[in-house]
Amino acid sequence: MDTTLKQENKFLVALKKVGRAFKNQTFLYIVKRVLSSLFTLVLLVALVTALIRLLPDTKFYDVATYKKIAGTSKVMANRWRSMQLFLAGRADANGNPVPVLYSIGRYILNILPYYKTIPQSWTDYSCTTVLESWTGFVYLGYSKSMSSYVTNVIASRMGISFRISLYTIIFSYLFAVPLGIAMAKKPGGTVDKIGNVFIVLNYAIPGLVFYLVMWDVLGNANGAFGWANFGLAYDETRPLTLVPPIFCIVFLGIPGISIWVRRFMIDELSSDYVKFARSKGLSENRIMYTHVLRNAMVPLVRNIPATFLGAIIGSYYVEKIWTIPGTGLLLVKALQGVTPDIDLIEGLTVIYAAISMVSFLLGDLITILFDPRIKLESN
């Protein structure tokens, strides 16, 4: 009797907890944000799919192949073509065009994360007996240019881009924030002046030129850094080969962070609470590190997730120069072939959109952590 009561109580407590979580503004806010992000994503998919439907059918199969088959059998060729169009979601199994809404609905079902089986080839052209199929949660189609499923293509390339962006972010902030602080300590002073010269020069260097020069200077075995053996191309067995590209991105990224740190710090330093802190007898360093820095970082941290996730998308030049198999080159590759790699393009679009939504949300959440004044409204 007693024990059942206790158990009931435990259950009630748990229920109350869930209830409270739902009442919690922040939680509600996150739920709403996630839902509205998903809605935006669906809209985007609809739009992109509708646009793709506007493309002529010839973009979805290789006309030369069609002609080759047609050389032997016109019927076979037409069947082959309708299957290509069926796979592209533009026609039903009989080769009749489907409504746009159907294409959209199909794509959305495909990206909804539930376990599904999607047939890829059949023993016959009327698509009755399945030969092989794809199984998994999120289906983004098949990349012709990479001869692999889009999800596999992106997943296999995301890793290296992710690593590069992680290091880049860490080192950028590690160097840029102290530089910004040092400059803000005495605006117009020596450090500030030197920092400004560095920033202006840095901005003046064209990125591509800097990459190419550094590629040679750092990587050339006979050059000044030959001893370090960084190499001219990325080699996954030698992490050191990542040093030149990361150095370049960090170096060029420093001004963009430093000038904001400096500016936010100076803004904060002129505020009343700093004067009051000074009148309390706190030393300048103490004021700098226990009051000003944190406040100045609030507007900055908001951008960290976006910068981080943005970097995952990759940098075309960096990947091209150091031959890094990251995501940066994918979009260009997808557009280069005889027929555009439509699945890859649409897949990348959806993934990039999802990434930016997640990073906005993360940015907001981090801001809440740093700034107690911000109360999230769930409406």
Partner 1 sequence: MANMKNVKLTNPADVKKGEVIVSVKDLVVQFSVRHRILTAIRHISLDIYKGETIAIVGESGSGKSVFTKTLTGMLEENGRISNGSIAYAGTDLTQFHTNEDWLNIRGKRIATVFQDPMTSLNPLRRIGSQITEVIRLHRGLSKEAAKAEAINLLKRVGIKDAENRYNDYPFQYSGGMRQRVVIAIALACAPDILICDEPTTALDVTIQAQILSLINELKQEYGFTVIFITHDLGVVAEVADRVAVMYAGQIVEYGTVNEIYYDPRHPYTWSLLSSLPQLGEKGETLYSITGTPPSLFNEIKGDAFAPRNPYALEIDFVKEPPMFKVSETHYAKTWLLDPRAPKVERPAIIGEISDRVAKIYSHGGEE
Least distance from C-beta 277 to partner 1, angstroms?
Answer: 7
- Of 12, 18, 111, the C-alpha closest to 346 is 111
- Cβ atoms of residues 77 and 360 within 8 Å: no
Alpha carbon 307 to its chain centroid, in Å, reads 9
Site string for partner 1, 258-277 (x = CB under 8 A): -------------xxx-xxx
Least distance from C-beta 271 to partner 1, angstroms?
Answer: 7
Site string for partner 1, 219-258 (x = CB under 8 A): ----------------------------------------
Q: Is 73 in the site for partner 1 (CB under 8 A)?
A: no
Least distance from C-beta 196 to partner 1, angstroms?
Answer: 19
Q: Is 23 in the site for partner 1 (CB under 8 A)?
A: no
Q: Is 282 in the site for partner 1 (CB under 8 A)?
A: yes
- Cβ atoms of residues 325 and 157 within 8 Å: yes
Of 268 and 341, which has the nearer Cβ to partner 1?
268
Distance CA 270, CA 283 (A): 16
Of 235 and 284, which has the nearer Cβ to partner 1?
284
Q: Which of 156, 283, 336, 378 binds partner 1 (CB under 8 A)?
A: 283
For the residues of 218-265, what is the DSSP string, one character each? HH-TTSTTGGGT--SS-BTTBGGGGHHHHHHHHHHHHHHHHHHHHHHH
Going by C-beta distance under 8 Å and a sequence separation of 6 or more, which residues neighbour residue 127?
Answer: 83, 86, 93, 119
Count of chain residues binding partner 1 (CB under 8 A): 23
Q: Is 290 in the site for partner 1 (CB under 8 A)?
A: yes
Q: Which of 84, 103, 161, 295 binds partner 1 (CB under 8 A)?
A: 295
Q: Is 279 in the site for partner 1 (CB under 8 A)?
A: yes
Q: Crossing angle, helix 2-23 and helix 25-53, to 10 degrees?
A: 60
Of 39 and 276, which has the nearer Cβ to partner 1?
276
Least distance from C-beta 362 to partner 1, angstroms?
Answer: 20
Site string for partner 1, 347-376 (x = CB under 8 A): -----------------------xxxx---
- Cα 171–173–179 angle (5° rounding)? 110
- Cβ atoms of residues 234 and 245 within 8 Å: yes
Going by C-beta distance under 8 Å and a sequence separation of 6 or more, which residues neighbour residue 309?
Answer: 165, 355, 356, 358, 359, 362
Q: Which of 223, 284, 289, 336 binds partner 1 (CB under 8 A)?
A: 284
Least distance from C-beta 286 to partner 1, angstroms?
Answer: 8
Least distance from C-beta 284 to partner 1, angstroms?
Answer: 5
Q: Which of 298, 300, 304, 361 binds partner 1 (CB under 8 A)?
A: 298
Distance CA 111, CA 129 (A): 24
Q: Which of 20, 67, 68, 294 binds partner 1 (CB under 8 A)?
A: 294
Of 11 and 273, which has the nearer Cβ to partner 1?
273
Q: Is 193 in the site for partner 1 (CB under 8 A)?
A: no
- Of 316, 187, 170, 185, the C-alpha closest to 254 is 170
Alpha carbon 370 to its chain centroid, in Å, reads 23
- Cβ atoms of residues 338 and 141 within 8 Å: no
Q: Is 291 in the site for partner 1 (CB under 8 A)?
A: yes
Distance CA 97, CA 119 (A): 19
* Residue spans of beta strands (DSSP E) within the chain: 116-122, 130-136, 142-143, 148-149
Q: Hey, what amino acid is at 102?
A: Y
Of 116 and 278, which has the nearer Cβ to partner 1?
278
Q: Is 377 in the site for partner 1 (CB under 8 A)?
A: no
Q: Is 190 in the site for partner 1 (CB under 8 A)?
A: no
φ/ψ region of 361 (left if φ > 0, alpha if ψ in -120 to 50, else beta) reads alpha
- Cβ atoms of residues 91 and 82 within 8 Å: yes
Of 40 and 270, which has the nearer Cβ to partner 1?
270
Of 290 and 336, which has the nearer Cβ to partner 1?
290
Least distance from C-beta 377 to partner 1, angstroms?
Answer: 15
Under the rule (CB under 8 A), what is the footprint of partner 1?
271-273, 275-284, 286, 290-291, 294-295, 298, 370-373
